[in-house]
Structure 1
Amino acid sequence: MRTRRCNLEKIWLSYYEPGVPPTLTYPEITLSDMLSNSAKTYADHTATNFVLRYLLGGRFTVGGKLTYRQLNEKVDRMATALYQLGVRKGDRVAVMLPNSPHYIITFFACMRLGAIVVNTNPTYTGRELQHQLHDSGAETIVLLNIFWPRLREVRAETPVKRVIVAHVFDTLGFPSNLLVKSAQRKTPEWVDVMPEQDIFFFQHLLEKYGPTPPRVSVTPDDIALFQYTGGTTGLPKAAMLTHRNLIANTVQIAAWLTRGEPGGEKMMAAIPFFHVYGMTVAMIYSIHMGAEIVIVPNPRPIDNVMNVIQRERCTLFPGVPAMYIGIINHPKVNEYNLRSVKACISGSAPLPMEVQEKFGQLTGGRLVEGFGMTEASPVTHCNPVFGERRAGSIGIPVPDTEAKVINLDTGEEIEPGSDETGELCVRGPQVMKGYWQRPEETAQTIDADGWLHTGDIARVDKDGYFYIVDRKKDMINVGGLKVLPRDVEEVLFMHPKVMEAVVVGIPHPQRGDDTVKAFIVPKPGENPTAEEIKEFCKLHLAPYKVPREVEFRSELPKTLVGKVLRRVLVEEEKAKQKAAMATA
């Protein structure tokens, strides 16, 4: 019998905080138009504040600022340069840059020409870079000089025709540009890129070309971005996100942050722009609101983040759990004034309620957990920032977003309030157009009714709050019983000596099922034992869920965004097993 479609009635709307409308009006504009509008409204407001480091007790900042007028002019100059170099509407431009003004300038220059940005992770190896450039068909790449050697080794196997090399000091004013240039040339990472055919320099292009880009007809339904993801199946592939997708998600975020002040916010931009979360929440939202983007190229160590928040008085701080966990457990956290922070949205991984509450006590602001995925631009759910948040929940769908949980076997919708779990599906204006050159995988991910099948195992309570239980692919099989890593991790986070924890299933070479193993980072000064952890878990978990193995580490392998790399841990364990068998 078909389950009644209760959640399509949007039962969660009654939990929207005052000021959040159930539906929104989305402007028929492009991302280029969004910047142009903000440049007119907030012309003399600071748009970017590039913070590299502080000198003389913080009285002097090595870095630089651009107003919205200056940023818009540099975008025009770069758009003109790209056009003169041969970039046309629909062409793909790979952007391999850390958080910096260069990224923002390049991104919006591409938007102005109707070109498609291909976000490229700066940590990619030559092999990974070659795959992405080949798959996307990018003929132009903009990268930092220190990344040039990796491109050089694979360039002949890619379609790249032109390379634009940026240096950190390009957009800095005097004397910061000279100080940074001098300091960087002394570092072992420094790379001198020699002028060659089809190699151009970012700063030279800004100086050579005027702010007179050609008029290109770009529509909201044109593709703006190729964002690569592993998705729910297979090899990395590009989610095609349109201007309309990204504008819609930005407007949804703006509606959710009810106390956001147009022209008055300072955005702590420590999460990478090359990741869709950082790009939409930290960069595009800020441009939409006329906020000052306080750009931090490297959030490590976490002292950098706390220092910038204190000195720049940042008001908004999107991040990942690892950042907030690092702050609340920092031995000198009470020496920093973090009271300027009023709102934080955490994504990418589960956020324990203990962390949310402790961070709120330190800052006076609100930290809540949200959820999104590359294919949805990315935000689909969030706990009300100043309303009711629930422990372990990703919150409720943002305006104009539908969500449901379906049975994994039958595809039938699961009744809200049931303890049954299933696959989370979402539908809304932020959902991608599809995967680039992957029609079959697109059809597997987005059904005929427009529902995006996320691949996440979830449940929904009677009020419409959603809870991610785990990824389908991360479920652990113990003697035929399914163990969801998050169930075990929630218990581990309850232990007073545990700072970070992740649980994976290690294939057992003889039994054919999995062994539950926990990897733990203890809190500073704590030395828990494996037996102590196991005994604690036995108090809160069924016997088959209790970790059989516990390993303590000083840190966990993570992406630049802060998401724990479970697959790396599994691969390490498989390698150990293989080595042990070879020795035996």
Structure 2
Amino acid sequence: MSYLQKPWLKYYDSRIDEQVSVNYDSLFDLLKQASNIHSEKPALTFLGRSWTYKETKTISEWFAASLYRVGFKKGDRIAIMLPNCPHYIFSLFAAFRLGGIAVQVNPMYVEREIEYVLNDSEAEYMIVFEALYPRVKKVQPHTSLKKIFVVGFGGSKTQLAEGDIYFDEFLTHDNIIPEMPIDINEDVAILQYTGGTTGVAKGVMLTHQNLLANINQVCDFTYNAVDEKPENLKIISVLPMFHVYGLSCNALSAIRIGGNQLILPRFDVNEVIELIKQEKPFQMTAVPTMFFALNSHPNLEESLIDEIFYLNSGGAPLPVELIKLFEKRVRVRLNDGYGLSETAPSAISTPPFLPRKLGSVGIPLPGTEARIVKETAEGYVDVPVGEAGELILRGPQVMKGYWKRPSETMEVLKEDGWLFTGDIAKMDEDGYFYILDRKKDIIISNGYNVYPREVEEILYQHEAVEEAIVIGIPDSYRGETVKAFIKLKQGAVVSSEKLIEFSKIYLAPYKVPKAIEILDELPKSSVGKLLRRMLREKEVHKLGI
């Protein structure tokens, strides 16, 4: 048996096509068609108010028209730094309507990180939550930002600088916009910033086609084989929209199926439990730490979570023990999947019709090819089925490349379209895939990527630090916890606590080391290279894993 035979196809329900088709002219056309079909149905529900599909399209067009009048043109970048809210959707589709590029900015970023993303993307427009506005203003003089739009959720408004304006005040209630020709295969719709072992964040270029293909793949896999769907299908939208997992697999997919997104600006376990009780959603997608929190809640059994048709986890490895404990309490299947920013993001999943294998992330989505390879003197070759190697993927959801980084694009994206993921995996004889480890040193904490080199560079900025190594150590709640090892300069004195406080100034909370250990010497190779692997193995051994 070979990977090219796609053994997983025998598990496809008869209502699932082997390939995926895209019948949209652009991402805005996705909303346009949904509005035509579901006009008066609720599309977005947030803080006690709902917006219909017609209203969602109208407000998006108003924002697009307003942007057009102040000079926004095709290819321009607009940075979005918002928590989950309807304005995120309005802003995205306004950019899509004009052929612009939405730059995803994590609301947890500190000034240094915001400045980097704005400069790398060369964004001239930005929409930001009012509580985060001061951060953006601090870095604006060092960026290309010309116009800032501010979103508030009610209450007293922040005093804005001259030239900046609140979203609602900026809107002009018309949709006079020229048609913008979109080449769905070439035109970039989103820049999703991700990193690597170099510590340099890279903008993943996702085209209209990449996202539309993945939306259709996810929706076909999840819903085509469902016999009965409720008329008012509700989806909990608590995954962050600033990450492509929450955006594509949740927010945009909900629009594709005409669902009502129950939007939460942040994850609060009590709010989620109460929302499930009140609204009885059809689907909920989350990261493992959210399921950890739910599983620790004393009233989980009374939440009616067992009435949710499809529960799916992604963004980080899902421990088998968590699945067992969770399902023992609520008796509903918890499914796992795999993806990455470079695949918009979903590539492999466990749809409702698929018999599950614990520990597996499932089978490839329609139109997706997957192989396990190893490097030899003659090049890359497939490893035998059941053996470990690097997972490579090919499909319409695979990114166009990294923004302004052709050489780094060529390192992972080969001429024949195969994306080298850097993840170690295996496939069994039935075509189920298992993620074993990461070839890269990326740490995944609470579902977020943390890049050791970036944290190390911040630690090196402290006057007392001579050498630094940052690793991820297994954590039953977060997936992994960030830990740093430090060698101090001769004669320097500083405590671990002070170094952690120093890190908090320059890093988003999830990147800050939870523990710092100061050592006399850090392990090195014969050529003086710091050995991250040795420290990680030592920590794993301590934990008895």
Contact 1:262–1:290 (8 Å) recurs in 2? no
Matches within 5 A, 1:175-214: 181=155, 185=156, 192-197=158-163, 199-206=164-171, 208-214=172-178
Q: 1:107 aligns with which of 83, 92, 95?
A: 92
Q: 1:10 aligns with which of 6, 12, 19?
A: 6
2:260 corresponds to: 292
TM-score normalised according to structure 1 size: 0.75
CA displacement at 1:269 relative to structure 2: 0.2
TM-score normalised according to structure 2 size: 0.80
Q: CA RMSD in A?
A: 3.0
For residue 214 of structure 2, give the secondary structure of its aligned residue in structure 1. Answer: helix
For residue 277 of structure 1, give the secondary structure of its aligned residue in structure 2. Answer: helix
Contact 1:17–1:386 (8 Å) recurs in 2? yes
Gaps (5+ residues) in structure 2? 445-451, 457-467, 479-507, 523-545
Which stretch shifts more, 383-392 or 74-83?
383-392
2:191 corresponds to: 226
For residue 212 of structure 2, give the secondary structure of its aligned residue in structure 1. Answer: helix
Matches within 5 A, 1:52-451: 63-169=48-154, 181=155, 185=156, 192-197=158-163, 199-206=164-171, 208-221=172-185, 222-231=187-196, 233-257=198-222, 258-259=225-226, 261=229, 264-300=232-268, 302-360=269-327, 365-409=332-376, 411-419=379-387, 421-451=388-418
Query: 1:149-183: CA deviations, max 9, x gaps?
Result: 111111100000000011123xxxxxxxxxxx2xx
| Separation of aligned partners in 2, 1:276 and 1:203 | 26
Matched length: 470
Contact 1:45–1:263 (8 Å) recurs in 2? no
Contact 1:342–1:364 (8 Å) recurs in 2? no
* Alignment CA distance shift 1:83-1:362 (3 Å): farther
| Separation of aligned partners in 1, 2:145 and 2:471 | 45
Identity value in percent: 36
Query: 1:404-458: CA deviations, max 9, x gaps?
Result: 1111455533444333x21110000000101110000000010121110111111
| Separation of aligned partners in 2, 1:146 and 1:28 | 36
CA displacement at 1:8 relative to structure 2: 1.1
Contact 2:82–2:127 (8 Å) recurs in 1? yes
| Separation of aligned partners in 2, 1:296 and 1:15 | 35
Gaps (5+ residues) in structure 1? 52-62, 170-180, 186-190, 476-484, 487-503, 523-562
* Alignment CA distance shift 1:41-1:263 (3 Å): farther
Q: Write out the 4+ residue segments of structure 1 that deviate beyond 6 Å after TM superposition.
A: 512-516
Q: 2:519 aligns with which of 577, 580, 583?
A: 577
| Separation of aligned partners in 1, 2:315 and 2:435 | 12
> What amino acid sits opposite 1:196 in the alignment?
E
| Separation of aligned partners in 2, 1:564 and 1:130 | 17
Query: 1:460-484: CA deviations, max 9, x gaps?
Result: 1122111111111349xxxxxxxxx
Confirm whether residue 47 of structure 1 aligns to residue 43 of structure 2: yes
Confirm whether residue 27 of structure 1 aligns to residue 45 of structure 2: no
* Alignment CA distance shift 1:267-1:518 (3 Å): closer
| Separation of aligned partners in 1, 2:230 and 2:197 | 37
* Alignment CA distance shift 1:446-1:263 (3 Å): farther
| Separation of aligned partners in 1, 2:32 and 2:470 | 55
* Alignment CA distance shift 1:277-1:262 (3 Å): farther
> What amino acid sits opposite 1:230 in the alignment?
G
Contact 2:315–2:338 (8 Å) recurs in 1? yes
| Separation of aligned partners in 2, 1:359 and 1:212 | 51
Query: 1:232-290: CA deviations, max 9, x gaps?
Result: 65410101000011000011001111328486421100000010000001111011111
